[in-house]
């Protein structure tokens, strides 16, 4: 089932962007007012318009009378006319009077259609290369985005986004689970369940290593160099897709079973500074897991990374520094004698740190 949703968030344009946005608001207002004037006059002479005829008229006069409007995306002008057309239809049907002319400072905004902008994380990318930081990323994963309204009120800027989303099926998920996100293992749950990396990944990684070596031996900018570069890029893309698919299935599975999901907080900023590509790819997957769970699961709780979740016994709290080395996959607590799987124990500690009790499980 699909449902309509709207969200509004603050946006933070810089000085230059504020100038451009203000211009866009001005052009939207001008488009509306000039077209409204034309529609009113024509109506008196028994001439009615539709969206296409008034749009055509506007395009024919704007170049001569208002050449500066070209600095602003045509999508903004089109949407202004579309909005006006809706109101004028009601006038033609005898339901309403013509709307008033738009005054400056009164509903300072413009709207554009969903195909004219896109999001990358917390950035909204508007036409004419305007990339603006938003206060928060999209609250849902939309199937379709209809439009965005950019507005200004009291010196602050906002984006209101209208979209179509898939509604979650009736949630039968229950209980809480802790997840330890890993590199070799995609994720380990506090229940002992493990999700592994897709098998194909190993093959692609090997291929990438081979292709990178081969690329470095080629003469830069030669035909063969370009060929090798394309091949390498293609393999990267395949690797990313294989991982994305695995993450999709995994997060759907976990969120269908558990109501509350506890995760370690990832330091995205630090992560993105990482230059090593292999590390970068796994970091990117962790980011993807988090993002997917946030819109699929009922509730996601974050736990800070300040304590060594893998070194503490989840049963008696005794810290065992021998576990520090990543090569230790299994260990036995010197105090209570519990046999631990490194990742399951870490996942259980994450769950505890999120304020939940762990049930004893026999996973070994």
Segment 279 to 338, residues that bind Zn ion, using CB under 5 A: 313, 315-316, 318, 333, 335-336, 338
Segment 95 to 154, residues that bind Zn ion, using CB under 5 A: none
Residue 308 class from Cβ within 10 Å (0-12 exposed, 13-18 middle, 19+ buried)? middle
Q: Are 348 and 191 in contact (CB under 8 A)?
A: no
CB closer to Zn ion out of 285 and 314: 314
Quote the distance between the C-alpha of residue 5 and its chain's center. Answer: 15
Shortest distance, position 317 Cβ to Zn ion, whole Å: 7
For Cα atoms 194, 204, 192, give the angle at the middle one, nearest 5 degrees. 5
Q: Is 180 a catalytic residue?
A: yes
How far apart (Å, rounded) are the C-alpha atoms in residues 339 and 331?
Answer: 6
How far apart (Å, rounded) are the C-alpha atoms in residues 259 and 279?
Answer: 30
Residue of 78, 180, 201, 283 with catalytic role: 180
Tokens of 149: 């309204």
CB closer to Zn ion out of 144 and 339: 339
Shortest distance, position 328 Cβ to Zn ion, whole Å: 15
Shortest distance, position 360 Cβ to Zn ion, whole Å: 12
Short-list 202, 273, 212, CA closest to 238: 202
Tell me the number of residues near Zn ion by CB under 5 A.
8
Short-list 38, 62, 59, 34, CA closest to 48: 38
How far apart (Å, rounded) are the C-alpha atoms in residues 261 and 246?
Answer: 18
Q: Are 159 and 13 in contact (CB under 8 A)?
A: no
Residue of 108, 264, 283, 294 with catalytic role: 264
Residue of 85, 201, 283, 343 with catalytic role: 343
Pattern of binders to Zn ion over 335-354, x per CB under 5 A? xx-x----------------
CB closer to Zn ion out of 203 and 315: 315
CB closer to Zn ion out of 77 and 349: 349
Q: Is 264 a catalytic residue?
A: yes
CB closer to Zn ion out of 160 and 315: 315
Which residues are CB-contacts of 103 (< 8 A; sequence separation ≥ 6)? Answer: none
Short-list 304, 317, 295, CA closest to 354: 304
Q: Is 252 in the site for Zn ion (CB under 5 A)?
A: no
Shortest distance, position 333 Cβ to Zn ion, whole Å: 3
Supply the residues annotated as catalytic.
180, 264, 343
Residues at the contact surface with Zn ion, assessed by CB under 5 A: 313, 315-316, 318, 333, 335-336, 338
């Amino acid at each position: 089932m699909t449902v309509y949703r709207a969200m509004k968030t603050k946006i933070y344009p810089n000085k230059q962007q504020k100038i451009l946005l203000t211009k866009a608001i001005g052009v939207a207002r001008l488009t509306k007012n000039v077209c409204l004037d034309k529609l009113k006059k024509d109506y008196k002479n028994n001439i009615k318009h539709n969206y296409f005829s008034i749009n055509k008229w506007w395009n024919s006069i704007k170049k001569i009378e208002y050449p500066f409007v070209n600095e602003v995306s045509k999508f903004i002008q089109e949407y202004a006319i579309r909005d006006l057309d809706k109101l004028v239809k009601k006038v033609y049907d005898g339901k309403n009077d013509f709307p008033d002319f738009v005054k400056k400072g009164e509903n300072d905004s413009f709207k554009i259609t969903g195909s004219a902008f896109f999001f990358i994380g917390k950035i909204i990318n508007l036409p004419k290369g305007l990339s603006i930081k938003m206060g928060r990323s999209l609250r849902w994963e939309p199937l379709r985005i209809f439009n965005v309204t950019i507005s200004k009120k009291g010196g602050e800027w906002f984006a209101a986004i209208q979209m179509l989303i898939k509604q979650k099926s009736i949630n039968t998920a229950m209980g809480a689970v802790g997840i330890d996100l890993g590199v070799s293992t995609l994720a380990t749950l506090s229940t002992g369940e493990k999700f592994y990396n897709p098998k194909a990944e190993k093959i692609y990684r090997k291929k990438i290593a081979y292709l990178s070596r081969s690329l470095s031996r080629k003469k830069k900018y030669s035909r063969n160099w370009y060929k090798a570069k394309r091949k390498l890029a293609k393999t990267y893309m395949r690797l990313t897709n294989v991982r994305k698919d695995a993450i999709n299935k995994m997060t759907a599975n976990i969120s269908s079973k558990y109501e509350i999901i506890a995760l370690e907080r990832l330091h995205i900023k630090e992560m993105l500074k990482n230059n090593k590509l292999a590390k970068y790819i796994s970091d990117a997957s962790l980011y993807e897991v988090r993002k997917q769970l946030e819109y699929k699961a009922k509730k996601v709780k974050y736990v800070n990374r300040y304590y060594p979740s893998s070194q503490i016994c989840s049963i008696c709290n005794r810290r065992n520094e021998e576990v520090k080395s990543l090569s230790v996959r299994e260990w036995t607590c010197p105090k209570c004698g519990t046999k631990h799987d490194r990742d399951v124990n870490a996942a259980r500690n994450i769950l505890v740190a999120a304020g939940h009790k762990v049930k004893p499980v026999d996973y070994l």
